[in-house]
Chain A
């Protein structure tokens, strides 16, 4: 009997230790395992609410979407509160996505936020060019503006006056860093 016990424990202990080490408790609630909406690269819909947290503007609509947003809450509050619908699109690239978020009041575009745009991109008719170390050149069909990084700049363009805010200008030198990229916000006054 004693031998049986020893043999039993000698086999049981490694077996138990192996299987119990196998899996931890599931850290994610079961309901989040069902519908995965984060893969849709483009969505449009009504703006139910918004928030800025951890440098991100989060729009709660039919699907929650977010974009890096460095302009801050106070400067954007009026526009964000009046936003009725949004359009959001992501283009995945190995060296970082380009993301566009447009907020509308009726048919009027009241806020455009761009994340990770590259040199030469044309955004609603505005071309983005690298300029100095901390500046970006914006070009419309007939005008140009030099925009300082992390500084609000007013421009007259298209149908009105906009606050422009450029942040996180990156000039990559290593592999998988694009030679130029930045984030840009156009906020209609």
Chain B
């Protein structure tokens, strides 16, 4: 009897893995369908035995009571040993977990290759392994890649046109895990606002694996750094497609009380821990900024303030040339407790003409921050505290937090099923600087 049971179980397993999707009821976009969770997928297409534009979204995890965002990832063939191009599964895990905490299900689809654990490529199947399609999404290596343009050997828009199946363009976001940009070489990524396309360019960032005896970094430290940098950058660029700017709803950057990784102050170093050295990212930024713009501030002063609490962060090279690294920060990018998040908008305002230094970042439980580096906690203080933003951060104004999570824009929830179906790339680019509008999708291609 046991033998038969084993046999039957194996047969069921095999049968289950070979679902016949041709019997699924297929739906396409129709404005009359209800969409309870506002993710752009009608409720009827988030039921068992259904598909949406012939994509089995329910089987891939879509449900009618949670926003489901599908992301088609096209990894560029790394061609080199640059860890910045090797998309880490753990990075996707962290981004997915953060969205899930906020009730949003992310469904990454890397395809059958181009996903890594360390330097090892993994090619498992299934939703947990981010391989929904079972096919390769890989695009050819190119030393440079940009968002558009003719001077580069590769660009995001052409890759989407060429490599993303047309039915996926009805519901998937599109991400390329690329190399580096030509003119903006070194930019961690780039994205269209209120859109579905974004590009990660972390080649040449020194990301990788191993140990570093000079800096006292373990394998775990360096792995954390690579994973956290990728995760933060993916979440940041994806955040742009969801309508978030560097100041939340505005472009003003480096606002310390905008507690979000959309803020450059926190994108690569993570969010500071409120109430425990919550000043560290700010002081470090002032120190770094003072080095590049020595006429603005006192490098040594900001360095001294850092090393008071982080004495081991000073590194001196063989020529006695000293500098600071954020290795020992609480929840640093080298740690497993690294904190990346969008803001919940809970922070109070910071009036740069009347700062109360005892109130710090103005979150619940905040400690003090010496905004002007005077050595004492004063009030009121006048100081431009987002000086690193040389465009929007000049002068002294009132800086505000923003509720990112409460204001996400889901591209496909704003897609019309109407007849006027042309979305030209240039039009979309202009839209990035405008108020979001209701986009329309190109017609399905027929096969």
Contact = CB atoms under 8 A, between A and B. Distances in A.
Interface of A: 3-4, 6-7, 10-11, 14, 18, 21-24, 26-28, 32-45, 54, 62, 68, 87, 89-99, 115-116, 118-122, 168-170, 172-179, 181
Contacts of A178: 184
B185 A7 contact: no
B121 A40 contact: no
Contact of A94 (B182, B211, B267): B267
Interface in B172-201: 181-193
B323 A42 contact: yes
A175 B323 contact: no
B210 interface: yes
B184 A177 contact: yes
B183 A174 contact: no
B391 A23 contact: no
A44 B318 contact: yes
A10 B317 contact: no
B391 A179 contact: yes
Interface centre among B122, B183, B189, by most chain A C-beta atoms within 10 angstroms, is B183
A91 B268 CA distance: 12
Interface of B: 3, 6-7, 10-11, 13-14, 17, 81, 118-125, 143, 147, 181-193, 205-215, 217, 222, 225, 233, 236-237, 240, 245-246, 251, 264, 267-268, 288, 291-295, 315, 317-319, 321, 323, 325, 390-391, 429, 432-433
A138 B119 CA distance: 44
Nearest to B4: A3
B317 A27 contact: no
B10 A7 contact: yes
Given A38-B206, A176-B237, A26 B6 contact: no
Given A7-B3, A92-B205, A97-B205, 7 more contacts: A10-B7, A24-B120, A24-B121, A24-B122, A24-B123, A41-B325, A168-B182
A95 B14 contact: no
A139 to B, nearest CB: 12
B71 to A, nearest CB: 18
B284 to A, nearest CB: 11
B205 A44 contact: no
B181 to A, nearest CB: 8
A27 B212 contact: no
B245 A115 contact: no
B119 A3 contact: no
A89 B211 CA distance: 20
Contacts of A32: 81, 210
18 contacts: A3-B3, A3-B7, A7-B6, A14-B13, A18-B124, A23-B122, A39-B217, A39-B222, A40-B212, A40-B315, A42-B323, A94-B236, A98-B292, A121-B293, A168-B182, A174-B190, A176-B187, A179-B390
A168 B240 CA distance: 25
Contacts of A62: 318
A96 B319 CA distance: 27
